[in-house]
Amino acid sequence: MSVVLTADDVRRVLRRMAHELLERNRGTDFVLLGIRTRGVPIAERLAAIIAEIEGVEVPHGSLDVTLYRDDYARTGPRPLGRTELPGSVDGETVVLVDDVLFTGRTIRAALDALTDAGRPRAVQLAVLVDRGHRELPVRADVVGKNLPTAPGDQVRVRLVEDDGVDEVVLSDGEVTA
């Protein structure tokens, strides 16, 4: 088990991601949607950092993709979360925010969930960690940290909001954290 990002690293990485989003979009004309569960606090923090840099509050909300997952038939029901959109997504640039990008299946589900919520002008993806091993043609636009992993590894993102500490931990397949 090794710590890949410390609290200070997480802080710096999020700040860079916020700058990249502003640069990419030439300003603050976008909506941040955090994917439940860990994507939500990350989206909130990005919004806070952007407010600090630009003095503009970017609309932000949450997206629960549980009902759109492709593993319901196999693994069974998971607890539902709330989807809280900051307003209509029609015609907006939506930035989906998640903690770890792995197979891409969560993002596939998120795109379906978003389509049912409206018709955004464009959708971008920002993730704190990209650990590779994609099973679908999905790519992130803004990545906090590219992390080479083995398929069986576990990447844990811990955040102050949920876990009391900011860190990203990589453990190999045998260890169950």
- How many Cβ atoms from other residues are within 10 Å of residue 92's Cβ? 21
Task: State yes or no: residue 82 binds another protein (CB under 8 A).
Answer: yes
Tell me whether residue 78 or residue 139 sits nearer to another protein (CB atom): 78
Tell me whether residue 8 or residue 72 sits nearer to another protein (CB atom): 72
CA distance 82 to 23: 30
Contacts of 166 (CB under 8 A, 6+ apart): 5, 6, 7, 10, 11, 158, 159, 160
Site for another protein in 34-73 (CB under 8 A): 64, 66-68, 72-73
CB of 163 to another protein, least distance (A): 22
CB of 58 to another protein, least distance (A): 23
Tell me whether residue 81 or residue 104 sits nearer to another protein (CB atom): 81
**Total residues in contact with another protein, by rule CB under 8 A:** 19
Of the residues 117, 133, 138, 169, which one makes contact with another protein according to CB under 8 A: 117
* φ, ψ (nearest 5 deg) of residue 8: -65, -40
CA distance 168 to 32: 22
Task: State yes or no: residue 119 binds another protein (CB under 8 A).
Answer: no
Q: Which pairs from 169-172 meet CB under 8 Å and 24+ separation?
A: 169/1, 169/2, 169/3, 169/4, 170/1, 170/2, 170/4, 171/1, 171/2, 172/1
Task: State yes or no: residue 86 binds another protein (CB under 8 A).
Answer: no
DSSP-assigned letter for residue 104? S
Of the residues 59, 81, 86, 132, which one makes contact with another protein according to CB under 8 A: 81
Contact residues for another protein, defined by CB under 8 A:
64, 66-68, 72-77, 79-83, 112, 116-118
